Amino acid sequence: MLCIEVRRRLSCHLDGELSSAAQQEIFAHMTFCTACREDWELLRFGKQLCQSSRQTINPPARFAVSVLQAIRTQKNQRLMLWSHLGAMAERLLPAFAMLIILCLGFLFLTGDPAEVHRAGQDNRDLFIPPEEEVLLIARQIDITTDHVIKTVLEGR
Amino acid sequence: MVVSNDEDRNMIKQSQAGDEVAFESLVRKYQQVVLNLVYHFTGGRADMTEDVAQKVFIKLYLSLPKFKVNRPFFPWLYRITANQCYDELRKIKRNRVLTFTELRADDHAAQDRLMNMHRLPPENGEHERLAQLLAKLMDTLPKQYRTALVLRDIEELPYEEIGAVFRCSVQAARLKVFRARLQMRRALRKLLKPVDADQMAECGTEGAGEKIYALYRG
């Protein structure tokens, strides 16, 4: 048997899952292969170390009761947290309502933003340059001569 | 090994419905198992075993509504316990305070003191020295290998159960244990002085652990 095969089977050997023939083969290999024997001894030592550390911890008499108490305390803490949050929400409710009313009022006063934008566009269309405005005024009061217009413009 | 049965299912169903008496019975049934597991997962830290076990049961109570009764209870309990233990160990590592004098790389005694500061003070017995050595070795292993070793070599669970805990096949569970053992062997070789295999073989099987340890320590 090759070293690689022996090492692959060492874990199964440690669990006592190999047939007696396979065990014999492994032992035969280990009589002349020091490296595999050292691996085997270290594995065995590791397992023995684990087994030697095995302890049975006896639960204290009131362990279950203390667990339930801890659960109740935690539950109460959660309930208290929720009640705190509820009380805070109750106190903040009028302020929140006021804020919503203010927001709605602001929106109502300013109107629909799209409409406001459109209105701005319309106002820009209605803009009349000053020269045209003078002409319009002149027409309204029936003064049509260039001289008068010039005078009016200079006067401005 | 505790097998979950109809009695367990009834207790779980009643606990899910909010029956505290049923949950208390469940705690009473599994308290010893959980305490042992916590003790081994935390590397023999007896001072924190009870607190961590209590946290495991609180976590169990809180996540019980999510548990499906037709599924096996025991692997689930194992997983909760392992996760809680690793959380606690992580907290300990995070909260560990180092001083400059303790940080010197060549001061191995100080390093040992730091590594074991959350364990009970060691007694002068061979058993305690071995337990400390195991705890040190376990600290070097990744989480899943550590779990695999605890379940197989300390708790002596069959591979089917280990597979159920890891939610993998029996073959994969075997592979995990095999790799964990290899890593443990590597850590052992690093930690201890090399000793002739013949000397180790002479130690036989009865109490070989102590004898090999004595050989290694010289």
Q: What is the reported pLDDT for B107?
A: 56
Ranges A65-69, B120-124, B202-206, most confident: A65-69
C-alpha–C-alpha distance, residues A15 and B151, integer Å = 13
Chain A contacts in chain B segment 118-137 (CB below 8 A): 127, 130-131, 133-134, 137
What is the SS3 assignment for B71?
coil
The predicted model scores a pTM of: 0.68
Higher pLDDT, B4 or A50: A50
CATH number of B1-98: 1.10.1740.10
Higher pLDDT, B119 or A64: A64
pLDDT over 70 at B106, yes or no? no
What's the CATH number of domain B122-218, 3.30.750.24, 3.90.1170.50, 1.10.10.10, 3.40.640.10? 1.10.10.10
pLDDT tens readout for residues A14-28: 888 888 999 899 889
pLDDT over 70 at B140, yes or no? yes
CB contact under 8 A, B20 and A11: no
Q: What is the reported pLDDT for A45?
A: 86
Domain coordinates in residue numbering, chain A: 3-52, 73-110, 126-155
A120-143 average pLDDT score = 67
CA atoms within 13 A on the CB side of A137: 12
Higher pLDDT, B69 or A110: B69
B176-193 average pLDDT score = 86
C-alpha–C-alpha distance, residues B39 and A55, integer Å = 8
**A120: burial class by Cβ within 10 Å (0-12, 13-18, 19+)?**
exposed
B44: left (phi over 0), alpha (psi -120 to 50) or beta: left
Calculated CA dihedral for residues B96, A49, A27, A10, nearest 10 degrees: -50
B77-86 average pLDDT score = 92
Q: What is the reported pLDDT for B146?
A: 92
For residue A6, count other CB atoms closer than 10 A to its CB. 23
**Residues whose CB falls within 8 Å of the CB of residue B99, separated by 6 or more in sequence, listed in order:** none
End-to-end CA distance of chain A: 117
**Residue B118 pLDDT class (50, 70, 90 cuts):** very low
Q: Can you read off the two tokens belonging to residue B45? A: 């830290």
pLDDT over 70 at A90, yes or no? yes
Task: Give the residue numbers in A contacting B (CB under 8 Å), as ranges.
Answer: 11, 14, 34, 37-39, 41-60, 63-68, 70-71, 74
Q: Can you read off the two tokens belonging to residue B146? A: 């550590």
- The reply to whether B44 touches chain A by the CB within 8 Å rule is yes
Domain coordinates in residue numbering, chain B: 1-98, 122-218
- The reply to whether B214 touches chain A by the CB within 8 Å rule is no
Q: B134 and A53 in contact (C-beta within 8 Å)? A: yes
Place of tokens 């090759």: A2
Q: Can you read off the two tokens belonging to residue B172? A: 């994969």
Q: Which of A7, A9, A37, A42 to mutate to test the interface with B (most CBs of B within 10 A)?
A: A42
Q: What is the reported pLDDT for A14?
A: 87
Q: B63 and B153 in contact (C-beta within 8 Å)? A: no
Ranges A3-7, A138-142, B79-83, most confident: B79-83
Q: Among residues of chain A, what percentage have pLDDT more than 70?
A: 76
Tally C-beta pairs within 8 A across A and B: 118
CA distance A59 to chain B (A): 6
CB contact under 8 A, B54 and A67: yes
